């Protein structure tokens, strides 16, 4: 088997073939390391590549397989981890100068989960500084979208999306506050799941916003997403907001049978006059709902009247909560931030308490409307963004107040389900052509709190009846 065939394999296939001794973990890790050497100069998805450590772990994984010991469902599979997630004795920078020499002395709970499942950590992935929404702020340089190097790979888990889409890891972890897993998935043509708040531990993760942060997988297929989530989900008493609920067998739940499943299409986000959705995105989402209907789902439009203000509430909440985490840095080390991050942190510091509380009250009302919709429907669907990946402006700055207002409006696309705190997944629903490049389009599928299985099964049914996941960027 060629290296290219190996790295283009899904994580699930790779794991199965390793168990059957058709592929060795060492062979897989070497192929991925070669791929990183070949393409990461263009993409800049990795901050730290753990070549020696990954090869040593791969040799151990191979010995284990030969001895009949399979640790778990990701045994020998090379994964990437966003660089705000703690890895013992390995720098965890949050893509900031301020954290550039921070080396944790323990693994985050999600990293422990990956290791327990047998995964091999290939390296730490680039991101926007402190998981802010702007794509140009990383102290380790900008990450590029593999579909078009001039475009935004999706924030804030920029490296997780770009590395997974360009076959520099088999699957990855991102962190989603206001859409930072779903955005890269949408922009890079991947599957990204924001799990329910309380489903996956945040212990050992540099926080962005205590009431919104979640850790989730970014993968090339729904099955890989389910495998990765299975490795990291479950109660952890070190995260005080975890729910002690049983974790279903997510892979077994991928039946592809969605007959009778009730799907609500959120009207506001498909109306160009309300939220500015582009023609290509609207068409991609509507065609996807047609596919779901042909598979036996009952598809109907639903209105969530407050959904269009989700972005304002989620951005205010995250701005305040984020700036409260390390207030000393803004006062003592302001010049070590990227300009745009410093502006965002300062803005968060200056928002009055009553404005923050009002945003939380708006959240309560938005959430109530969405949960009422989810009493009628098993899942809700809508675009992942108003438009495909945009060209990055590499010059720091916000440009105008109007641009800031537009960003708040756009944030509603993913902010809605961040506020709801149930699961929300983005999956590719087609492509559009801009210039010389194809660009992926994303549809979001969101469900009731803790019903990740339903969300992933609807996505799986769609994926198995379309071919979008078989396309890949040429690099």
Partner 1 sequence: MSELNEDEIRGLAKAVNIEIQNSDITDISYSLNAMLEAIDSINPEGINAVEPLSVIQKEDKKL
Is 156 tagged catalytic? yes
Q: Write the DSSP assignment of 248-284 as a string of letters.
A: P-TTTT-----TT-EEEEEGGGG-HHHH---HHHHHH
Within 10 A of 445 (CB to CB), how many other CB atoms are there?
Answer: 27
Residues in contact with partner 1, total (CB under 8 A)? 54
Q: Does 319 bind partner 1 (CB under 8 A)?
A: yes
Question: Of the candidates 2, 20, 41, 401, which one interacts with partner 1 according to CB under 8 A?
Answer: 401
Is 442 within 8 Å of 182 (Cβ atoms)? yes
Phi-psi region of 18 (alpha: psi -120 to 50; beta: other; left: phi over 0): alpha
Q: How far is the CB of 449 from partner 1 (least distance, A)?
A: 5
* CA–CA separation, 217 and 232 (whole Å): 9
Q: Does 435 bind partner 1 (CB under 8 A)?
A: no
Query: Quick one: which of 61, 265, 312, 441 contacts partner 1 (CB under 8 A)?
Result: 312
**DSSP assigned state of 406:** H
List the one residue from 1, 103, 403, 470 that touches partner 1 (CB under 8 A): 403
Contact residue for partner 1 among 56, 247, 293, 408 (CB under 8 A): 408
* N-terminal to C-terminal alpha carbon distance within the chain: 21
Would you give the binding string for partner 1 spanning residues 158-177, x where CB under 8 A is met?
Answer: --------------------
For 425, the token pair is 């997944």
Interface pick for partner 1 out of 391, 405, 433, 470 (rule CB under 8 A):
405
Strands 171-176 and 78-82: parallel
**Closest Cα partner for 226 from 43, 44, 73, 435?**
73
Among 53, 60, 211, 287, binds partner 1 (CB under 8 A): 211
Kindly indicate which of the ranges 71-79, 264-272, 279-287, 403-411 contains the residues binding partner 1, using the contact rule CB under 8 A: 403-411
| Structure-block tokens of residue 353 | 């308490």
Position among 358, 390, 466, 475 found at the interface with partner 1 (CB under 8 A): 358
42 or 368: whose CB is closer to partner 1?
368
For residue 301, count CB atoms less than 10 angstroms from its CB and return exposed for 0-12, middle for 13-18, buried for 19 or more. exposed
Q: Identify the DSSP state of 402.
A: H
> Which position among 10, 73, 82, 172 bears the catalytic label?
82
Residues forming beta bridges with residue 301, ordered by sequence position: 265
Task: Output the six-digit token pair for 265.
Answer: 């299409």
Tell me how far, at minimum, the Cβ of 368 lies from partner 1, in Å: 7
CA distance 313 to 415: 8
**Residue 180 annotated in active site:** yes
Rule CB under 8 A: which of 446-475 touch partner 1?
A: 448-449, 451
Residues 379-398 that bind partner 1 (CB under 8 A): 397-398
* Shortest Å, Cβ 366 to partner 1: 9
Report the run of H or E that residue 464 belongs to, with start and end: helix 452-464
226-285: contacts with partner 1 (CB under 8 A): 241
Q: Is 368 in the site for partner 1 (CB under 8 A)?
A: yes
Binding of residue 367 to partner 1 (CB under 8 A): yes
- Candidate list 93, 160, 180, 421, residue with the active-site label: 180
106 φ/ψ angles, rounded to the nearest 5 degrees: -150, 160
Give contact residues for partner 1 (rule: CB under 8 A).
Answer: 197, 211, 241, 306, 309, 312-313, 315-316, 319, 330-331, 334, 339-340, 342-344, 346-347, 349-351, 355-365, 367-368, 371, 374-375, 397-401, 403-405, 407-408, 419, 421, 448-449, 451
| Catalytic center residues | 82, 156, 180
């Amino acid at each position: 088997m060629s290296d290219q065939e190996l790295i283009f394999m899904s994580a699930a296939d790779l794991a199965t073939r390793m168990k059957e001794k058709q592929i060795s973990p060492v062979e897989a890790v070497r192929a991925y390391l070669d791929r990183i050497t070949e393409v990461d100069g263009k993409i800049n998805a990795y901050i730290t590549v753990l070549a020696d450590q990954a090869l040593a772990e791969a040799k151990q994984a191979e010995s284990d397989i030969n001895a009949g010991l399979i640790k778990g469902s990701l045994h020998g599979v090379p994964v990437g981890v966003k660089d705000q997630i703690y890895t013992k004795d390995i720098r965890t920078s949050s893509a900031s100068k301020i954290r550039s020499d921070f080396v944790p002395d323990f693994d985050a709970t999600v990293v422990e989960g990956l290791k327990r499942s047998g995964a091999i950590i290939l390296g730490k992935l680039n991101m926007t500084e402190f998981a802010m929404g702007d794509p140009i702020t990383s102290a380790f340089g900008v990450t590029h979208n593999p579909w078009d190097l001039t475009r935004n790979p999706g924030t804030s888990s920029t490296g997780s999306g770009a590395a997974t889409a360009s076959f520099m890891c088999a699957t990855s972890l991102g962190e989603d506050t206001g859409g930072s897993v779903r955005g890269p998935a949408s922009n890079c043509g991947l599957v990204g799941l924001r799990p329910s708040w309380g489903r996956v531990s945040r212990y050992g993760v540099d926080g962005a916003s205590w009431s919104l942060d979640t850790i989730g997988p970014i993968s090339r297929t729904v099955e890989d997403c389910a495998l990765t989530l299975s490795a990291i989900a479950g109660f952890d008493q070190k995260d005080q907001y975890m729910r002690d609920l049983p974790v279903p067998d997510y892979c077994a739940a991928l039946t592809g049978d969605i007959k009778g499943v009730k799907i609500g299409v959120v009207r506001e986000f498909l109306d160009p006059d309300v939220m500015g959705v582009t023609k290509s995105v609207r068409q991609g989402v509507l065609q996807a709902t047609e596919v779901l209907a042909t598979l036996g789902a009952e598809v109907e439009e639903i209105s969530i009247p407050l959904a269009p203000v989700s972005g304002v509430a989620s951005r205010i909440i995250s701005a305040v909560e984020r700036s409260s985490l390390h207030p000393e840095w803004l006062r003592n080390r302001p010049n070590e931030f990227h300009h745009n991050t410093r502006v965002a942190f300062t803005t968060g510091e200056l928002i009055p308490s009553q404005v923050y509380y009002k945003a939380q009250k708006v959240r309560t009302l938005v959430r109530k409307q969405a949960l009422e919709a989810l009493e009628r429907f098993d899942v809700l669907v809508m675009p992942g963004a108003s438009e495909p990946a945009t060209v990055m402006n590499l010059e720091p700055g916000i440009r105008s107040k109007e641009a800031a207002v537009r960003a708040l409006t756009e944030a509603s696309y993913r902010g809605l389900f961040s506020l709801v705190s149930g699961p929300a997944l983005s999956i590719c629903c087609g492509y559009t052509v801009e210039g010389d490049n194809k660009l992926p389009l994303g549809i979001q599928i969101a469900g009731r709190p803790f019903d990740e299985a339903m969300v992933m099964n609807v996505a799986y049914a769609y994926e198995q009846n379309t071919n979008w996941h078989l396309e890949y960027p040429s690099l």
